[in-house]
Structure 1
Amino acid sequence: MPLPFLTADRAFDEASDDLALPFDDRGRWRRPYRPGPWRVGAAALVLLLASYVLVAAVIIAVAGTLPAAAACLGGAAVAILCALRFLRVGVWVSSRGLRRVGFFLTSTTPWGQVVAVRTVQQPVRWLALPRTVQGQALVLVRRDRAPEDVPPLLTTHNADFLARAEAFDRAADGVEVWADEYGRG
């Protein structure tokens, strides 16, 4: 079964130096990096929990209480949808703009509003928890907002890049290349 999200890093690694954006269809939204092990592991645990709830729904349905089985089935469906949404969280790029996909909210910034995308040293949140540590962040500077009003796009301590500094550098470089290519026009 092809898993397209696993080919993002490979496409950038195999690209030649004269081809900065190694994709044929640049109008399609894509994440220029792979989801990290923390994100994939958390989603796998939620899917494991959902499988147990589905088995419980079958057992409850065989026992004869259909409303309870429907409730278990609904709970498992919600868990599966949450795991899939958690895997989609991140930064996505296309020729139309830059999209920040959050768990509950998605925002798209057209390239015309992007002034710069750059990597800075600053305190960042560790795995989206309130605790902050010193790290790197990829920040977006927009024409219509102050830089401190825009949360970082990527950090070295989020679920995709914790303990993966090289992957953060590749992803930040990839997003910066997209911003350089389309942010000028």
Structure 2
Amino acid sequence: MPLPFLTADRAFDTADDVALPFDDRERWRRPYRPGPWRVGAAALLLLLASFVLFAAVVIALTGALTGVPSSAAIVFGVALAVIAGALRLLRMGVWVSVRGLRQVGFLVSRTTSWGQVVSVRTVQQPVRWLGLPRTVQGQALMLVRRSRPADDLPPLLTTHNADFLGRLEAFDRAADSVEAWAAEYHRG
């Protein structure tokens, strides 16, 4: 089964001279690939889910003999929750389209139309390391909107998040791409 949210279009790998290489700009797209930390964490969660699913099957088979299959349904529900969490983890990031910019978090997504965007710029500042409370010096892609001050918004991308930790060139490409989308549609 193809997972379109897992990979960015191949056009970003080959079209360095084209800022907005997508044919269909109406679709929401992530202008970068998810990083190895994010994919690794999702893979570990899916591995855990496979063990939990196996446990649900064993509980269901032994429960059928004893007449109490309700605990198997609870364990199966836990496995589905872990799978949903892994898929949501893979969807996290910045998505762009003609309609605006969407920052997808684990629980909350924020969508900003291009008309509300004042600027998108890369700044040097302390950033969170893999989303943990520890901060390190790095770069962040910041969104400035008309309706809210920039201090209230979390950074769109950082050099030390799960997508770009140890991949500074990938961060630069992704930041340039998001800035190009903002420059293109902020004018229009």
Distance 1:24 1:166 in 2: 24
Distance 1:40 1:119 in 2: 25
Deviations 1:58-86 (A, max 9, x none): 00111023111001100000000000001
Shift of the 127–91 alpha-carbon distance from structure 1 to 2, 3 Å rule, reads: same
Alignment of 1:80-159 (within 5 A): 80-159=83-162
Distance 1:16 1:133 in 2: 30
Percent identity, aligned pairs only? 75
- What RMSD over aligned residues (CA atoms) do the two structures have, in Å? 1.3
Distance 2:2 2:48 in 1: 25
Aligned-pair distance for 1:151? 0.9
Correspondence for 2:73 among 49, 70, 84? 70
Residue of structure 2 in register with 1:13 after alignment: 13
- Detail structure 1 runs of 4+ shifted over 3 Å in the superposition: 1-7
Q: Which amino acid aligns with 1:108?
A: T
TM-score by length of 2: 0.94
Q: Which amino acid aligns with 2:83?
A: I
Residue of structure 2 in register with 1:165 after alignment: 168
TM-score by length of 1: 0.95
Please state whether the residue corresponding to 1:157 is helix, strand or coil.
coil
Matched, 1:181 2:184: yes
Distance 1:85 1:133 in 2: 26
For these two proteins, the number of residue pairs brought into alignment is: 184
Residue of structure 1 in register with 2:26 after alignment: 27
Aligned-pair distance for 1:149? 1.0
Distance 2:83 2:133 in 1: 26
